[in-house]
Chain A
């Protein structure tokens, strides 16, 4: 499978993490905070045949919609490169999520306590799909830190799903979230994480 270059070098392997959550919750901010380059945008042009449009009666011309995803890159020292994809906010583009979630190491569901319900679909999606995920509550300025247990209860999360506070604008905070996600993903997949992460 691994295709080499003509001069014998190997190409690195790409892995990805999905950043999900409601509209305006800070997905692109988080991608931009950790990405080594300015985040890029990839677009898929859709016709209404591929989108769950509510009602197309009376629509004579095929409509097209553009679904955009912002993403960033982190080059790992060894043979890996990590991509972070912010999911499109609209829930009707689930099939785009499938493409991004397939083969993902895990997902970060960003939540905003003022609009906690916005992250329900993401939580539901990754639960059903079996993708390891953590919930990171983005602490916007002026928002009181909430009790994480309360949030966990409100989201009806399994006991083993990590919930944490974060600031999507701060690198150290985003790093912590992503490392916790990887450790959680290892546990979910039956790999032994480092001992201090019991």
Chain B
């Protein structure tokens, strides 16, 4: 399709921000996770301002890894760090250990500010592209 293929993704993702030694003060213990309620991170919002964000929508940061917080919350910054390589919404929720709805709201904010690009999956109606099936079969055989 396009000569410029995306780079192969790293095998091991970056550690989430709360595992960063600099952020250990945010945890009570290993099991507790970040001590902020998910809806606080989204200021009570349940739906993203923009975008639908399917679980397999692919997201990539449109800017280099931010040094400071750019006026963003730590979770927004964590998303920008993780999406320096292409990552699905589902993977982001897994790495951030946050509920899907929360991550969607934050992705909507980032999209709104032009800080991420995304690729929605093929709609169900478009699943008649034989190349797609052949590529998947080849990929599975190569495992």
Interface residues in chain A, defined as those with a beta carbon under 8 Å from any beta carbon in chain B: 1-6, 8-16, 34, 36-37, 40-45, 66, 69, 71, 73-83, 85, 99-100, 102-103, 105, 171, 175, 178-179, 182-183, 185-186, 189-192
Contacts and interface: CB of A to CB of B under 8 A. Distances in A.
B140 A74 contact: yes
Contacts of B86: 11-12
Contacts of A41: 94
A175 B143 contact: yes
Contact of A15 (B62, B95, B121, B128): B121
A198 B123 CA distance: 28
A190 B128 contact: yes
B60 interface: yes
A16 to B, nearest CB: 5
Contacts, number: 163
A136 to B, nearest CB: 14
A3 B100 contact: no
Interface string B110-140: 0000000111111110011010110111111
Nearest to B92: A42
A179 B119 contact: no
Interface of B: 1-2, 4-6, 8-9, 11-13, 38, 54-58, 60, 62, 86, 88, 90-91, 93-95, 98-101, 117-124, 127-128, 130, 132-133, 135-143
A81 B118 CA distance: 14
Contacts of B2: 9-10, 79
A42 B93 contact: yes
Closest 6 pairs between A and B when the two form their complex, measured CB to CB: A40-B94, A76-B139, A11-B119, A14-B56, A45-B99, A42-B93
Nearest to A76: B139
B119 to A, nearest CB: 4
Contact of B143 (A34, A79, A81): A34
Contact of A75 (B8, B93, B120): B8
B132 to A, nearest CB: 7
A37 B13 contact: yes
Contacts of B6: 5, 9-12, 79
